[in-house]
Structure 1
Amino acid sequence: MAYEHILFTEADGVATLTINRPERMNALHVGVIAEMIHAVDTIRDGVSDARVLVMTGTGRAFCSGADLAGGGAGGGGERTSGPVDAGKVLETHFNPLLERLFALPVPFITAVNGAAAGAGCSYALAGDIVVAAKSAYFLQAFVNIGLVPDVGSTWMLPRLAGKARAQAMMMLGERVPAETAEDWGMIYKAVDDAELMTTVNAIAAKMAKGPTRAYTLIRQGLRDSLDKTLTEALMVERRNQLHAGRSADFGEGVAAFLQKRPAAFTGK
């Protein structure tokens, strides 16, 4: 597939998906989302050999959310004077992309280079590891246009920042600077703008050589445990440890430990 709205590259086990609409602050419409889904599916389906996915944006924004001028909130590019089903495009495009990102068989890192608003805020915070430039900010912009938070933000934000902060973000529609997001526990780290990609690339390179199956079980296990009792979470951990213990990477990890050498993980 030839991409018009994104850049998708792969090198040394790291796939990088860059939303490439800087003139629209990387705003999303169904065409952009379709390309993103296609790129993510190449990793999910094993077409790509990537063992890590990095997502970022071109220019001064990570992603400004739905492209209101281009029909991003209405499900298509058509303009209409009548009522719009603003939830239709969630069902057909935005939500399927989020669920694919959560279900990836490899770690997912977001490099938040600028504004992350609306749906862009959700995709940014969906990363297993979120690194943001200090000039970046997170914004739940929906209330400013009379809509409600979507693309998983009502599920993610209370778990990341707590109910009080999440509710204030959603109801006041105010920017949360990257350093505040770090203080709140929403993201892993805020770094100087010039250091963003250096930091992210170093993390991605490390994880591309790590125990991929264990990473997958960790990311799934953490999310599962958020909605379970302690007893249920213990059962999930036990099941995941069974699968991790059967991996070749576990055997290599133990051998490397005993031989006092770096492990050479293969992701298998």
Structure 2
Amino acid sequence: MQFEAIRMELDATSHVATVTLNRPEKLNSFTRAMHKELAAALDEAISAGARALVLTGAGRGFCAGQDLADLSFEPGAMTDLGSLIDEYFNPLVRRLQALPLPVIAAVNGIAAGAGANLALACDIVLAARTSSFAQSFVKIGLVPDSGGTALLPQRIGMARALGLAITGDKISAEQAERWGLIWQVVDDAELPTSAARLAAQLAQQPTRAIAAIKRAMRASTTNSFDQQLDLERDLQRELGNSYDYAEGVQAFIQKRTPRFEGR
């Protein structure tokens, strides 16, 4: 499928799909058409057999959030932001979190508004040293969306989350790493290589187990402790009947590298 605002490349050797937001002249800000292309690109990556996914941006920014030029501000015909979020942004972040494979955000340049929270919705965030993050919603009279009001306090605590959301201040990638908002900062020139290397490493892991880890970790934010113990039991029972578990045990016994297949 041909895309205009998205690039999707699959490395058949590593089974890593790289999905690039490709509106660099607009700092990769989202339009409705771009949302549809991204959803189709994710479909294509999964159907092509990707076992890990890298999400990044073209040019000098990761994503500046919603493109305001794609909205209507005419009196009586204003774009319903609730409907926009319900139709596009919420399905996107839900899907990224539920994908049955590891998802790495490789953040280059600015990640602002929904663009910042798009990165945080991924499983692991690598960021270029000169990149930055901003919850810029308050600057135009809005509340953080795309999961921001949940992801921020979960990762950095309520005091810092409120500070970022209320001021709309930008923080550097290095500050984000110190606060635990992201996984790791790398030198700008190393970002593509570091993301590809990590994705290739994860693609060789038992991706079915990784999907279960994603599910369990995220469920822990709302489950009671007893519910979480039950979920761990159920997932462990399921994984205990998998090919990858049997392969992992045999490889351990035979002192060889396991060959996981994600099943």
Partner of 2:250: 255
What residue number does 1:35 align with? 37
User: Aligned partners of 2:24, 2:212: CA distance in 1, in Å?
Assistant: 35
Number of positions where the alignment pairs a residue of Structure 1 with one of Structure 2: 260
Q: Does 1:126 align with 2:121?
A: yes
User: 3-state DSSP class of the match of 2:238?
Assistant: helix
Deviations 1:72-91 (A, max 9, x none): xxxxxx55244442222101
Aligned to 1:231: 226
SS at match of 2:81: coil
Deviating above 2 A after TM superposition, structure 1's stretches of 4 or more consecutive aligned residues are: 78-84
Query: Equivalent residue of 2:105, what SS?
Result: strand
Q: Of the candidates 166, 169, 172, which is equivalent to residue 174 of structure 1?
A: 169
Residue 265 of structure 1 and its aligned partner are, at CA, apart by 0.9
Partners in 2 of 1:118 and 1:135 — Cα distance? 18
CA contact (8 A) 2:19 2:53 kept: yes
What TM-score do the two structures reach when normalised by structure 2?
0.96
Does the CA contact (< 8 Å) of 1:40 and 1:100 recur in 2? Answer: no
Partner of residue 211, structure 1: 206
- Match of 1:87, SS state, is helix
Tell me how far apart the structure 2 counterparts of residues 246 and 137 of structure 1 sit (CA, whole Å).
43
Aligned-residue offset at 1:70: 2.5
Structure 1 CA distance, aligned partners of 2:28 and 2:220? 33
- Aligned with residue 17 of structure 1, among 12, 16, 19: 19
Alignment of structure 1 residues 75-224 onto 2, 5 Å: 78=72, 80-82=74-76, 83-224=78-219
Q: Percent identity?
A: 46
In 1, distance between residues paired with 2:44 and 2:79? 33
- Aligned counterpart, 1:61: 61
Name the SS of the counterpart of 2:56 in structure 1. Answer: strand
Unaligned runs of 5+ in 1: 72-77
Report if aligned partners of 1:63, 1:120 keep a CA contact under 8 Å in 2. Answer: yes
Query: How far 1:122 moved relative to its partner?
Result: 0.8
TM-score of the superposed pair, with normalisation by structure 1: 0.94
Cα deviation, residue 205, structure 1:
0.5
Q: Distance in 2 between matches of 1:158 and 1:41?
A: 31
Q: Deviations over 1:98-138 (max 9, x none)?
A: 11111111111110011110110111011111100111111
Q: Which amino acid aligns with 2:141?
A: G
Q: Is the 8 A contact 1:53 1:107 kept in 2?
A: yes
Between the aligned partners of 2:37 and 2:73, the Cα distance in structure 1 is 22
Q: Distance in 2 between matches of 1:39 and 1:242?
A: 33
| 1:74 alignment partner in structure 2 | none
SS in structure 1 of the partner of residue 227 of structure 2: helix
Partner Cα distance (2:113, 2:15) in 1 = 30
Q: State the alpha-carbon separation in 2 of the partners of residues 108 and 84 from structure 1.
A: 31
Q: Cα RMSD (Å) of the superposition?
A: 1.2
Match of 2:8 in 1: 8
Aligned residue type for 1:40? L
Q: Does the aligned pair in 2 maintain the 1:40–1:101 contact within 8 Å?
A: no
- The letter of the residue matching 2:128 is A
